Amino acid sequence: TIATATLDSLFRLIYSQEQQTDARELGGPVTPDVLNKRVAAGSTYYLAILDQVGHVLAASAGTPARVLAREASQPQFRAALTSPSPAPTGISDVLDDGPAGTRLIETVVSYAGATGRRMLVTGQPVSTFTQFLAGALQPMAPVTGGRAYVLDGHGNVLASVMPSGQTRPPNPALVRKSLERASGTYDAGGERYFAASRIPETSWQIVVSAPTASLYRGTTGVGRWLPWLVLGLSAVAFAAIAVLIRRAVVTSGRLARSNAELEISQQRLRDRARELQRSNIELERSNADLETFAYVASHDLSAPLRAVSGFAQLLANRYRGRLDDAADEFISHMQSSLDHMQWIIDDLLAYSRVGRAELAPERVDLDAVLADVLRNVGTDVEEARATVTHDDLPEVGGDRGQLALVLQNLIANAIKFSVPGADPEVHVGAAREGERWRVFVRDNGIGIDPEHGERIFKMFQRLHEPEAYPGTGIGLAIVKRVVERHGGRIGVEPAPGGGSVFWFTVGDPPGAPAPRPEPVVAERPQAPVAAQSSES
């Protein structure tokens, strides 16, 4: 392309100069003589001047008949008349109408004449062009085995350059293909590559060719693999970047999704929390209502019940033994049922009071409390031939009366639920559990199936018939309520060797220094030092 552009510029330069000279020297009337003289003076076969429609104004000797016959339709004429360049010029393919059939090139230069446009037709030996073209082609075959040609529109060689300086006609395949395409490959005892470029305003083209192998011949040493290495590394880098970008896109998508989901679940949580709060308030209110109801009902029931009990007592006193046996039995059934009812009502009242009374924690010496309790249950202990032992009990924080209720209930149960025929043995102890005390009451009684370990702390839940073990089923519910109001936990475990261990936790007295935590001890060995134990 560079070579054709160079030749085009050269042609333009030459012919625009010629055009000016022609206009000056051959613009007016011309005679064949003038032209003949010119032919004789230089290396030109013929000269002719035509007007723009092809009429011959003058022609030298040797002008071919086709020019004289005004065959101005030939390409070189068309080009001279139509080419848009400032110096319209046409250059023919190789023609063979020189003297004695010699090959020539015909150029047609259009220039301004006195009576309009004129065309100067010049026939010149091919060699005039060959040298000039070869000069321009010289730098065109730099690779090994490279060749460069200037071919006319029919594939005639106008000039050629070969590395060894030899002149050989171009391969027919090259000629054929270069007329069809601007580049490609052809076979000439090995694949060769060619590129063709047309010189503007002519049918000539410059064709360069070289063995394909020499064009792509590999370099050696570092140069051989370095480009591949760089290429490989770049590919890897691009792949890594692509993966990272993809990952970032995917991750950010996922993140956005999770965020949205999180937002939704947070919203749900907030809704749930609000609902829960509402239900809590509702529950508290209905609990308070229920509490009031239970309290009022049991309280108000107490008075008539006592009255009925009183009358039953009167009935018994006055008429027992005076009616028949059945009547005596009815009266005693009535009395025991009334007693049981009174018991239930008393327990219910006790339960209600535990919930209603404001808790004012004070320093409570559990040893002293236990002593009171043991005095209260003294008769039961004696009747049941029970033994109650205890460790040194700590000082704790809480309501003295309520804590006494807890111990009393647990000890009473421990005595009550004894194995028939065996003397009840009860032990009360305490151990440190983190920041609280764990107080326990252990018995050798009938034990509790762990399956019912939770149930028995609920209201009216009993595992036995009242005939076997009397009771209301409220005692442990009261105990649990007190313990929980004190911020503690309660539970029951099977005692080693039979029986049960009821335990609950309770905090230190108010204002006590934070205790040093000790490992949890479920139970101390019973009465480690005789002096520390007391029997009741």
Q: Which tokens hold the place of 343?
A: 């018991």
* Interface pick for ligand ADP out of 361, 453, 473, 491 (rule CB under 6 A): 473
The residue written with tokens 């309501």 in the block is: 399
CB-nearer residue toward ligand ADP: 56 or 414: 414
Cα separation, 230 vs 219, whole angstroms: 15
For residue 484, count other CB atoms closer than 10 A to its CB: 14
CB of 509 to ligand ADP, least distance (A): 28
* Segment 474 to 493, residues that bind ligand ADP, using CB under 6 A: 474-477
CB-nearer residue toward ligand ADP: 18 or 346: 346
Q: In what order do the strands lie in the sheet with 157-161?
A: 157-161, 147-151, 205-211, 191-198, 183-187
Closest Cα to residue 60, out of 49, 71, 69? 49
Cα separation, 403 vs 416, whole angstroms: 20
Q: Does residue number 414 form part of the binding site for ligand ADP (CB under 6 A)?
A: yes
Cα separation, 319 vs 322, whole angstroms: 5
CB-nearer residue toward ligand ADP: 498 or 528: 498
388, β-bridge pairs? 426
CB of 491 to ligand ADP, least distance (A): 12
Q: Which tokens hold the place of 462?
A: 């009993």
CB-nearer residue toward ligand ADP: 81 or 419: 419
For residue 32, count other CB atoms closer than 10 A to its CB: 18
CB-nearer residue toward ligand ADP: 120 or 474: 474
Q: What is the CA radius of gyration of the chain?
A: 65
Closest Cα to residue 401, out of 428, 362, 432, 445? 362
Who's near 500: CB < 8 A, 6+ residues apart? 414, 417, 442, 443, 445, 447, 448, 492, 493, 494
Q: Does residue number 124 form part of the binding site for ligand ADP (CB under 6 A)?
A: no
Cα separation, 20 vs 27, whole angstroms: 10
Cα separation, 123 vs 139, whole angstroms: 28
The stretch near ligand ADP (CB under 6 A) out of 133-141, 227-235, 237-245, 409-417 is 409-417
Q: Does residue number 456 form part of the binding site for ligand ADP (CB under 6 A)?
A: yes
Q: Does residue number 408 form part of the binding site for ligand ADP (CB under 6 A)?
A: no
58, β-bridge pairs? 49
CB-nearer residue toward ligand ADP: 397 or 499: 499
The residue written with tokens 């090994």 in the block is: 144
Q: Does residue number 471 form part of the binding site for ligand ADP (CB under 6 A)?
A: yes
Interface with ligand ADP (CB under 6 A), residue total: 20
Q: Does residue number 145 form part of the binding site for ligand ADP (CB under 6 A)?
A: no
Q: Does residue number 495 form part of the binding site for ligand ADP (CB under 6 A)?
A: no
CB of 265 to ligand ADP, least distance (A): 42
Q: Closest CB to ligand ADP belongs to which residue?
A: 471
x/- track of binding to ligand ADP for residues 363-402 (CB under 6 A):
----------------------------------------
Q: What is the 3-state secondary structure (H, E, C) of 360-380?
A: CCEEEEHHHHHHHHHHHCHHH
Q: Parallel, antiparallel, or unpaired for β 183-187 and 104-113? A: unpaired
The stretch near ligand ADP (CB under 6 A) out of 177-185, 191-199, 461-469, 514-522 is 461-469
The stretch near ligand ADP (CB under 6 A) out of 113-121, 249-257, 297-305, 441-449 is 441-449
CB of 414 to ligand ADP, least distance (A): 5
The stretch near ligand ADP (CB under 6 A) out of 18-26, 160-168, 385-393, 472-480 is 472-480
CB of 477 to ligand ADP, least distance (A): 6
Q: Does residue number 348 form part of the binding site for ligand ADP (CB under 6 A)?
A: no
CB-nearer residue toward ligand ADP: 203 or 418: 418
* Interface pick for ligand ADP out of 15, 111, 417, 503 (rule CB under 6 A): 417
Cα separation, 259 vs 266, whole angstroms: 10
Cα separation, 49 vs 30, whole angstroms: 8
Q: Does residue number 445 form part of the binding site for ligand ADP (CB under 6 A)?
A: yes
CB-nearer residue toward ligand ADP: 188 or 419: 419
Q: Does residue number 500 form part of the binding site for ligand ADP (CB under 6 A)?
A: yes
Q: Does residue number 446 form part of the binding site for ligand ADP (CB under 6 A)?
A: yes
The stretch near ligand ADP (CB under 6 A) out of 225-233, 293-301, 329-337, 456-464 is 456-464
HSE at residue 109, side-chain half, CA atoms within 13 A, is 24
Task: List Cβ<8 Å contacts ≥24 apart for 289-298.
Answer: 291/352, 291/355, 291/356, 294/348, 294/351, 294/352, 295/349, 295/352, 295/353, 295/356, 298/345, 298/348, 298/349, 298/352
Q: Does residue number 463 form part of the binding site for ligand ADP (CB under 6 A)?
A: yes
CB-nearer residue toward ligand ADP: 119 or 446: 446
* Segment 184 to 203, residues that bind ligand ADP, using CB under 6 A: none
* Segment 290 to 329, residues that bind ligand ADP, using CB under 6 A: none
CB-nearer residue toward ligand ADP: 174 or 476: 476
Residues that bind ligand ADP (CB under 6 A): 409, 413-414, 417, 443, 445-446, 448, 456, 462-464, 471-477, 500
